[in-house]
């Protein structure tokens, strides 16, 4: 049931910069308290309410979503009341969830390295912050685009910076599909970080969400190093501005709508490197696809060696909510039960050392992500290049020569 009415909950002068946000109904009183410039209730439905607040209050509202409700995003910012009430719907063809590409998955799994993931987390979290409006937040986009470009070993694989009107850009790496290029798979995480103080804050965001971006980066690195050629198109997306209302992922959904893009599945990696609970991977069952989650369980059991459980994270806790709202099957495998998550996020203490300096926890998510890419994208790895074959041959000859010389002596 929808109650369409407008009530001003706080005396306020007209907002200098009104922002329309959707929040879980449970978070409404907290949002009212954090909206110092006033708040107007525009609509209330079963799960969520649409309110208008002043843009200047968003960082504090975001902080309260994190502090009181353990949600990373926790709200969805919309450009209009109409879009808030009638979310954009994307084309999404139903897919079969089958496991039949074990040879390809098993070939790449041993090449995934926790040390590589840890190094990427270290580099991202060394920046002052990755706030969506800051210079270092903008630089993070350039840095990541350059890193991803270094993996693009063949024509057709592209890396784009996507401008949504903020200094920080979303970064998109596309591996085009061979026979079903029109069916797109999205593997994403958010590039931005946040802490009290906004632009000038020290917000290393090592776990939230450099860990997710580093995990994506490792998946892309290994797939491209093996010249993987999926049938479906795979897009790796580092979203800008998740922390202030899923801005980046929603802008991407809007772009995809304009292009009539058919998205068959979305995987969100937001916080992968802090093992806070007694199992490794926790699938969020709310605001996600039960069918795709069941597929992820099969992938976890077949390929990761990790243990898993189910939990819930509440309204719009990360970018998977943008895809779910748009009618795309989405999942969010998370580092712990939500209640046991890393307590240092959104502060200067969200460092690699205080999550998992070895990134062994994140490695389980990289294994899951690469299995998801191949079993949903299908297709094949490329031929080993002749350079690698010669190296193997040379090593074999050296070994044989060593054996012979030992026998002779």
Residues near Zn ion, by CB under 5 A: 72, 208-209, 270
Q: Which residues contact 49 (CB under 8 A, 6 or more apart)?
A: 22, 23, 25, 28, 41, 42, 43
Shortest Cβ distance from residue 205 to Zn ion (Å)? 8
Shortest Cβ distance from residue 171 to Zn ion (Å)? 16
Taken in order 257, 89, 236, 316, the sign of the CA dihedral is positive
Establish whether 26 is a catalytic residue: no
CB 32 within 8 A of CB 25: no
Establish whether 190 is a catalytic residue: yes
> Which residue in the list 43, 192, 208, 350 is annotated as catalytic?
208
Establish whether 43 is a catalytic residue: no
Establish whether 101 is a catalytic residue: no
150 Rama class: left (phi>0) / alpha (psi -120 to 50) / beta: alpha
Angle at 324 between CA 78 and CA 182, to 5 degrees: 105
Shortest Cβ distance from residue 370 to Zn ion (Å)? 21
Q: Which is nearer to Zn ion, 72 or 84 (CB)?
A: 72
Q: How far is CA 261 from the centre of its chain?
A: 19
Q: Which residue is nearest to Zn ion (CB)?
A: 72
Shortest Cβ distance from residue 253 to Zn ion (Å)? 18
Q: Which is nearer to Zn ion, 54 or 60 (CB)?
A: 60
Q: Pairing mode, if any, of strands 180-190 and 262-268? A: parallel
Radius of gyration, alpha carbons of the chain: 22
Shortest Cβ distance from residue 4 to Zn ion (Å)? 32
Q: Which is nearer to Zn ion, 38 or 212 (CB)?
A: 212
Pairwise CA distance, residues 36 & 57, whole Å = 7
Q: Which is nearer to Zn ion, 241 or 296 (CB)?
A: 241
Establish whether 100 is a catalytic residue: no
Establish whether 37 is a catalytic residue: no
> Which residue in the list 207, 270, 280, 319 is annotated as catalytic?
270
Active centre residues (catalytic): 190, 208, 242-243, 270, 346
């Amino acid at each position: 049931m929808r109650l369409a009415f407008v009530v001003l909950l706080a005396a306020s002068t007209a907002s200098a910069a009104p922002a329309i946000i959707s929040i879980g109904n449970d978070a409404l009183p907290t949002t009212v308290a954090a909206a110092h410039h006033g708040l107007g209730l525009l609509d209330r439905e079963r799960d969520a309410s649409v309110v208008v607040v002043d843009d200047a209050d968003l960082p504090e509202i975001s902080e309260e979503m994190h502090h009181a409700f353990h949600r990373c995003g926790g709200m969805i910012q919309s450009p209009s009341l109409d879009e808030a009430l009638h979310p954009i719907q994307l084309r999404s063809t139903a897919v079969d969830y089958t496991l039949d590409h074990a040879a390809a998955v098993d070939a790449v799994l041993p090449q995934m390295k926790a040390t590589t993931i840890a190094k990427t987390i270290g580099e991202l979290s060394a920046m002052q912050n990755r706030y969506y409006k800051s210079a270092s937040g903008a630089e993070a986009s350039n840095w990541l685009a350059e890193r991803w470009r270094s993996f693009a070993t063949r024509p057709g694989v592209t890396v784009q910076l996507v401008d949504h009107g903020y200094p920080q850009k979303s970064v998109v790496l596309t591996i085009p599909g061979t026979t079903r290029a029109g069916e797109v798979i999205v593997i994403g995480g958010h590039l931005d970080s946040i802490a009290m103080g906004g632009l000038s804050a020290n917000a290393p965001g090592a776990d939230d969400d450099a860990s997710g971006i580093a995990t994506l980066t490792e998946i892309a690195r290994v797939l491209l190093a093996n010249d993987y050629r999926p049938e479906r198109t795979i897009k790796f997306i580092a979203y800008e501005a998740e922390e202030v209302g899923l801005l980046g992922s929603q802008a991407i959904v809007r772009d995809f709508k304009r292009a009539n893009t058919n998205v068959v599945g979305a995987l969100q990696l937001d916080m992968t490197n802090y093992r806070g609970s007694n199992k490794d991977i926790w699938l969020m069952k709310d605001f996600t696809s039960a069918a795709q989650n069941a597929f992820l369980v099969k992938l976890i059991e077949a390929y990761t060696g990790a243990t898993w459980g189910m939990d819930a994270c509440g309204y719009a806790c990360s970018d998977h909510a943008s895809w779910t709202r748009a009618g795309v099957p989405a999942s969010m495998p998370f580092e712990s039960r939500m209640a046991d998550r890393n307590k240092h996020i959104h502060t200067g203490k969200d460092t690699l050392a205080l999550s998992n300096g070895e990134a062994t926890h994140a490695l389980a998510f990289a294994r899951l992500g690469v299995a998801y890419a191949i079993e949903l994208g299908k297709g094949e790895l490329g031929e080993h290049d002749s350079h690698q074959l010669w190296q193997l041959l040379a090593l074999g000859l050296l070994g044989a020569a060593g054996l012979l010389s030992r026998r002779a002596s």
